[in-house]
Amino acid sequence: MIPAASQHLLPGFQNPTLDAQAVFRVLLNGMSYPGRIFRVPPVIDTPPPGLGPAAAAVCLTLLDSDTPLWTDLDNASPVRPWLRFHCGCPLAEDAGRAHFALATEAVRLPALEAFRPGTDEAPETAATLILQVEALSAGGPCRLSGPGLQDDRRLEAVGLPPGFWDQRRLLGKAFPLGLEFIFVCGARLAALPRSTRVDV
């Protein structure tokens, strides 16, 4: 039986297993082709206010009870109980302890040094940041290169904090340490693994 306190929550995936698999395939493509924009399948009818369909689908696919999440959402946001109910993820107040971060307004993102970049022994423990931006398009001032990119690719994400790309460029020098990024806007996403080089 669903607890009474959770009955008012909006639904998540219609078919949790198949929907999560479909979104995960899109995420794998995103990581394999950095900076390329992909459309997330329509697997969520009504995301909670403040969360776009791609952001909601990515959260339902990646988060679980073993993945502490930092978010910029305040305690009154309906997204917090929605995530706790559908994902079971603990919410971390300290960004450095989070496996994932969700910034629904990317411009409010803390400095990237606040998040865990992994360790020399376990670089795969780096945090993944899900950043909801105002616009996402090919082109712009950021040139991406590296694994998965036969030719340079350009990506423009509108609504990032000042100095974001400079911080990301410095992180790239510490590879294999670093952060993984998933930019989401509406029903679309683009990924930026830590192996990708960024020049502005």
Q: What percent of the chain has pLDDT over 70?
A: 96
pLDDT value for 147: 83
Write out the DSSP string of 34-72.
Answer: TT--EEPPS--SSPPTT--HHHHHHHHHH--TTS-EEES
pLDDT exceeds 70 at position 2 = no
pLDDT value for 3: 42
pLDDT tens digits along 60-104? 999 999 999 999 998 899 999 999 999 999 999 999 999 999 999
Query: Span 43-72, mean pLDDT?
Result: 95
Q: Grade residue 4 by pLDDT with cuts at 50, 70 and 90.
A: very low
Residues found in the chain: 200
